[in-house]
A = this chain, B = another copy of it.
Amino acid sequence: MSDHVYKIVELTGSSSKSIEDAVENAIGKAAATIDNMRWFEIVNTRGHLDNGKIDHWQVTIKLGFTLHQ
Contacts and interface: CB of A to CB of B under 8 A. Distances in A.
Give the dominant DSSP class at A's interface.
Answer: strand
Contacts of A15: 2-3
Nearest to A56: B2
A3 B18 contact: no
Given A47-B39, A53-B27, A11 B6 contact: yes
Which of under 10, 10 to 19, 20 to 34, or 35 or more describes the interface residues of A? 35 or more
Interface in A14-48: 14-16, 18-20, 23-31, 37-42, 44-48
B5 A7 contact: no
Interface of A: 1-16, 18-20, 23-31, 37-42, 44-49, 52-57, 60, 62-64, 67
